[in-house]
Amino acid sequence: MTEPLLPTTVIGSYSVPEWLGQLRNDYYRHRISRRYLDEIHEMAIKAAVMDQQRAGIDIVSDGELRRDNDVDYLLARIPGVDIPRPDKGDYFDYYDATLHRELPAPARASLGLADDFRFVRQLTDRPVKLSITGPYSLAHRIRVTGDAYPDHAGLVRALARVLAAEAAELARAGAQMLQIDEPFLAGYPEDVGLAIEAVNIVTEGADVSWTLHVCYGNRYARPLWEGHYDFLFPSVKQANVDQLALEFARTGDEDLSLLGEHHWDRGLGLGVIDVKTEQVESPDVIAGRIRRALRVVAPDKLVINPDCGLRHLLPDIARAKLAAMVAGAAMVRAEIAGKATAEQPTTAGAQTSPAAEPAAAKARTTARRPVPSKG
């Protein structure tokens, strides 16, 4: 399998229709059946995959449209975590999750993500990436009572083991690209060492291509924190991941220098779409952001994505932003291919036959590279 140079992807979530949240609440309040809700989810996921494909996205996701948000969906499925009231008066309100005793050792996967992957896998021939909310962020949404985990680090590690079992099941289901999301880490930079330790427990579960996504939060399309990514380094170099996916569109590209300063030689998921504004970036703006990143990241190490999930954007805005992102990446991809062609040595007096020209043109516009694999 191959994918384009500068492949485009999404971070995970896609635009969530307002009616979807209301129907979830109808299910929690026993107004509709589980089967009906499953059918609704499947319809929404099919539409999200189609939107990504029509925009030209190279690596797609299921849009996370079965998930209330990036935390609740997993917490409600972890054995031992108590959710006293699953229904929500407002769709984006978070659960009140409580843990009264230590989590049971994960003898097997328990979160159902492999089934989610199998469903989206059958909808597309394109590579599929599935995201998992990281153990550090999950731990910040759990209120521990009694003597369970007096040490916060113990809870983080226990959650990491649960996620490792899930990752192993995803790999058995055929997943090749998994992403760990740690949206809470930017708010607690002093814990970066613990978070990276937990990430490595998760990645031990599956020999796949791993991405670590760290942002500044995206609740109600607003950041939860501000700052710079300097807190990640050098600790993140100990993470057993193939790629970092970071936000740069909203915050600017000043932090790109950290990658060179700390000799980050693995992949970078470059955030080029600001998901916290409805203003649609032009392809030229996207291309400019990619060109600046190429000063410090090799083209075969660069993946193009939004800053964060598209959950809070209206569908037409999400579609327009993805189309602009794809067009901007295509512009830079063509520039790289054209430059490579121009730099090829030529034999004096050699002539290019008319028959060869279409093939040469095709080669210039379809520069490709292997799908990344761990190892």
CATH level 3 topology of 2-69+102-130+162-341+357-370: TIM Barrel (3.20.20)
| Mean pLDDT of each 10-residue bin along the chain, 375 residues long | 88 92 86 95 97 98 91 90 76 75 84 96 97 96 90 95 96 97 94 98 96 86 81 97 97 94 97 96 98 96 97 95 98 91 62 39 38 41
Q: Quick one: the chain helix, strand, coil %, rounded to 5? A: 40, 15, 45
The confidence score (pLDDT) of residue 90 equals 55
The confidence score (pLDDT) of residue 92 equals 55
Q: Where are the alpha helices (DSSP H) in 204-314?
A: 256-261, 283-293
The confidence score (pLDDT) of residue 357 equals 38
The confidence score (pLDDT) of residue 220 equals 67
In this prediction the pTM is 0.88
Which residues are within 8 A (CB) of 97 and not within 5 positions of it... i.e. 6 or more apart? 75, 76, 81, 82, 83, 141, 142, 143
In angstroms, the CA 226 to CA 29 distance is: 37
The confidence score (pLDDT) of residue 352 equals 41
Burial class (CB in 10 A: 0-12, 13-18, 19+), 89: exposed
